Amino acid sequence: MPQFRTLLTCILLLYAAVAAASDADRDDQLRRLEGAISRLQQEQQSAYQQFGMVQELRRSLIQQTTPLPLPAVSGIDGDVPDYDEQVRQRKQLEEQLRRYSVELDRLYARYRELEEQKRPLLDRISELSQSR
């Protein structure tokens, strides 16, 4: 009978050690997952801020491209705007608007990609939290 008690005690201690190791492993996994989510959120915030800045630059540029009334030209000493220069400036503005649009699309796609990366991590955290 004393051997049975010793065996039973050893089994209980082993079970307690495994359970403690399991809790420590789960806590370690939770910490790593939370760290990964934090990094993803920081990158998402950065993409969001960049998106806002590019969007504001684009809005400002659109306001600049609204046609201004042509200056009054007097016959003798009035400066006539150079048509070629105006066309060149207009093309530059349109190209910059296109680049801003491409950048906005890229930043939005990156933000969504980061959100998709976060989703399984959040699900795993939920699973680990519920198994406590």
Residue of 92, 97, 110 whose CA lies nearest to 47: 110
Mean pLDDT within 9-24: 64
User: What predicted TM-score, i.e. pTM, was given to this entire model?
Assistant: 0.69
Q: Which one, of 43, 29, 41, 20, lies nearest residue 125 by Cα?
A: 29
- The domain locations on the chain are 2-64+84-130
Tell me the pLDDT tens digit for each residue of 76-109.
555 677 888 889 988 999 999 999 999 999 999 9
At residue 131, the pLDDT reads: 77
Q: Which of 107, 128, 110 is nearest to 118 (CA)?
A: 110
Q: How far is CA 118 from the centre of its chain?
A: 10
Percentage of the residues of the chain whose pLDDT score is greater than 90: 54
Using a 10 angstrom Cβ sphere, with 0-12 exposed, 13-18 middle and 19 or more buried, the burial of residue 107 is: buried
3-state DSSP assignment of residue 32: helix
Residue 55 has a pLDDT of: 97
Report whether 114 contacts 43 (CB < 8 A).
yes
Asked if the model's pLDDT at residue 24 lies above 90, the reply is no
